[in-house]
Amino acid sequence: MIARAADPRIDYVTYLGGIYSDTANSIAIDSTGAAYVAGNTYSPDFPLTSTAFGVPDLNQSCGFVAKINPSGTAIDFSVCRANQSAQAVGLDASGNIYVMVNDVSSGASADNAAGSSLVKLDPTAATVLYDVPIGGQSSQIHPEAFAVDGAGNVYVTGSAYAGLATTPNAYQREVAPGDSCLNTIPTPVATGPCPDAFVMKFSPAGAMSYATYVGGSGLDDAHAIAVDSAGDAWIAGETISPNFPTTANAFSKTFHGELDLWPLQFGDAFVAELDPTGTKLLYSTYLGGSAVDGALAIAVDAAGAAYVAGGTQSADFPATQGALQTTYTGKTVEPCLRCDDGFVAKFSASGTLVYSTYLGGWAGAIAVDSLGQAYVEAAQKPPIVVLNPSGSAVAASSPFGGGRMVLDGKGGLYTAGSTGIQVFFSTLHALQTQYGGGGSDGFVAKLDFTQPAQPALNALVNAASMLEGNYSLSAYNGAVAPGEVVTLFGSGFGTDPTVSFDTVSAPILYASDTQINAVVQYEVFEPLVVTVMSGSETIAVAKLPLVDAVPAIFTTTGSGTGQAAILNRDGTVNSPSNPAPRGSTVSLWMTGAGGMTTFVRDGSLGPLTAPFPVPALSVSASIDGDQAPVQYAGQAPGLVAGIVQVNFAIPLNAKIGSAVPIGLQVGYFISPSVTMAIQ
């Protein structure tokens, strides 16, 4: 199906979790549109339909597999395996379910397990068809990804130290000799040869078809795997080996350099293809520039072309002419694979580089449709973009993404991940519309790129910070405060929407089809329910945590970051070219200060003469972490109730600069930091 240029329709979004921490790590779909989700739960109230394989325990991960019906409204089945962590899930053409699990029974964490195995379940998840360990000495092997073909062959990749039980005719029987590396899996042990990437293939019965290393003298790690229609396994990852095996038709046979920040090491991305028997390396190439590069995801289309995504800090990464983004825009100084720009590259079935482009944020997932459009999930806004077949333009995008995704071949995209946001704005009638609790919940969503966006509420944020309310002082979890000016983003709001908190209509300051600015009433109570309507149509209903204050400072750009909207003592606007002198008094504006000491009518304008309403909680200001005396904090004269003016003095010893950090504290609640200019 051809993706539309507009946002896709969001068919459903559902939480998946209980009162403790839950994560969704992988997703697969069947021909009916049912979603199979694998992850971990510690919640005793996780929605299991059977306890035959175990139950969640607050102190130990239980790896779950849940099947969600095509409409996202109910669970068909859900089971979990005690003392295990479920990392990936896949299906074969017969509906059998494959799960890659880590054993955490010895007390290891879900991310640092003692051993891994491959589990095959029947289509109802009631019977274990096989359970086979991955590799030889479990402490030496770190599987990261797997793929399943229609016949039920399973292909696993990752990294392995010496000791992997390779097969007799494997492409590479032993770990490559060379550099020494500290083995940190599962705990640090004596140094030895660096790990290489590996690939294993299991038959439908669970027997080992092949197992081989792929690597050179340095550390090599495969993060992703895909299988084409011929049974060739494509892997992608990162390497610091100057002699990583490349083929004659490689795009690049040259290693672009190693960066060591012990124990972290960085090098190039790599892409490699093995034949169905694991005996021949059909294609292998470096991919990168002079700084940090690594591939994190790979997909293969029907023609055998491979699409690779990852992260880079290389200003000389080989972007192709005419690509979507040909210039590096990252700014992080420290070496980091998952920090700055992402990249997407397409290789033809013969290994020719078709296109290569930077992307705004590092890319962790990729899928491809029948037209050769690449769906990429990246650390950017919007989080999902669809690249056209030539990689030269964005054909579509989505404001919603999760970290793992799969296409159904009919224009539908399913995504799963984890969230700590208590107000995630799940869709009406979803399986689980409210946050379960704990540090995180899993979630599952379906998007339809063949249909335009329907009326939906995507986010509710503080109108000054553009962030969800700070509920725990350390995480943004959707909390709101009495009198706070908030911004709602979404679609289909119409020209005359209504926003209600606790069934009472809130004052609306601005409204368009995609944005509403409203004011939370002062008289509200927890649990606070927000309802958004367009005419007689209900767009969203969600519960919001209610707290005493969600302070945030308005900025000149309206983005919530950078230069604060401040007037100097002479009434001019503070800016790098017009700094405020030390010892002077300046004024700024904020919202989210909470209740006032005197009655304030919702939606009214602040009085122009004293007395002025003042916040019930104390207000303090800081400049670069040091206190700045507050001379006035109260309702902003002539502005809508909920906007507070704060006047504070700049100490004589304050830091000088064009972007000095400043902040406010209301009671125990701290605003995000913004900046001002001081001389």
pLDDT at 262: 61
pLDDT at 478: 78
Among 123-132, 181-190, 300-309, 602-611, where is mean pLDDT lowest? 181-190
Q: Which residues of 234-252 are buried (b: 16+ CB within 10 A; e: fewer)?
A: bbbbbbbbbebbbbeebbb
In the chain, the amino acid numbered 291 is A
The pLDDT of residue 283 is above 70 = yes
The pLDDT of residue 243 is above 80 = yes
pLDDT at 82: 94
Please tell me the pTM assigned to this model.
0.84
Q: Work out the percent of the chain whose per-residue pLDDT is above 90.
A: 77
- Segment 365-387, tens digit of pLDDT: 999 999 999 999 998 888 999 99
- H/E run at residue 276: none
Q: Which residue has the higher pLDDT, 179 or 444?
A: 444
**Quick one: DSSP state of residue 514?**
S
Biggest CA–CA distance in the chain, Å, is 89
The pLDDT of residue 273 is above 80 = yes
> What values do phi and psi take at 138, rounded to 5?
-60, -35
Quickly list DSSP for 625-664.
TEEE-EEEEEEPTTSBTTEEEEEEE--TTPPPEEEEEEEE
The pLDDT of residue 562 is above 50 = yes
pLDDT at 616: 97
Q: Are 633 and 644 a contacting pair, CB within 8 Å?
A: yes
- In whole angstroms, give the CA distance from residue 1 to residue 447: 13
> What values do phi and psi take at 286, rounded to 5?
-75, 155
pLDDT bucket at 110, cuts 50 / 70 / 90: very low
pLDDT bucket at 401, cuts 50 / 70 / 90: confident
Q: Are 119 and 131 a contacting pair, CB within 8 Å?
A: yes
The pLDDT of residue 622 is above 60 = yes
- In whole angstroms, give the CA distance from residue 7 to residue 454: 9
Quickly list DSSP for 92-146.
-TT--EEEEEEE-TTS--TTS-SEEEEEEE-TTS-SEEEEEE-SSSGGGEEEEEE
Residues sharing a CB contact under 8 Å with residue 405, sequence separation 6 or more, in sequence order? 27, 365, 367, 375, 377, 384, 413, 414, 415, 416
- In whole angstroms, give the CA distance from residue 525 to residue 531: 15
The pLDDT of residue 216 is above 50 = yes
The pLDDT of residue 402 is above 60 = yes
pLDDT at 109: 47
pLDDT at 381: 80
- In whole angstroms, give the CA distance from residue 444 to residue 423: 15
Among 258-267, 332-341, 547-556, 560-569, where is mean pLDDT lowest? 258-267
Q: Are 46 and 17 a contacting pair, CB within 8 Å?
A: yes
pLDDT at 263: 62
Residue of 462, 537, 446 lying closest to 498 (CA atoms): 537
**Quick one: DSSP state of residue 372?**
-
- Residue 176, number of CB atoms within 10 A of its CB: 22
The pLDDT of residue 477 is above 80 = no
Q: Tokens representing 184?
A: 């940190």
- Arithmetic mean of pLDDT, 216-220: 94
- Residue 661, number of CB atoms within 10 A of its CB: 14
Q: Tokens representing 607?
A: 């009085």
Helices (runs of H) and strands (runs of E) counted in the chain:
0, 50
Angle at 333 between CA 331 and CA 316, to 5 degrees: 65
**Quick one: DSSP state of residue 480?**
B
- Give CA separation, 633 vs 184, 637, 646, 647, 666, in Å: 54, 11, 4, 7, 10
The pLDDT of residue 107 is above 80 = no
- Within its chain, how far is the Cα of 384 from the centroid? 10
- Arithmetic mean of pLDDT, 348-352: 95
pLDDT at 5: 45
- Segment 435-466, tens digit of pLDDT: 898 889 999 999 999 998 888 888 899 999 99
- Arithmetic mean of pLDDT, 166-191: 76
Q: Are 121 and 131 a contacting pair, CB within 8 Å?
A: no
Q: Which residue has the higher pLDDT, 114 or 170?
A: 170
- Within its chain, how far is the Cα of 456 from the centroid? 21
Ordered by where they begin, the domains of the chain are 457-544 (2.60.40.10), 552-678 (2.60.40)
- pLDDT, mean over the chain: 91
The pLDDT of residue 484 is above 60 = yes
The pLDDT of residue 183 is above 70 = no
Residues sharing a CB contact under 8 Å with residue 607, sequence separation 6 or more, in sequence order? 635, 637
pLDDT at 179: 74
- In whole angstroms, give the CA distance from residue 516 to residue 533: 11
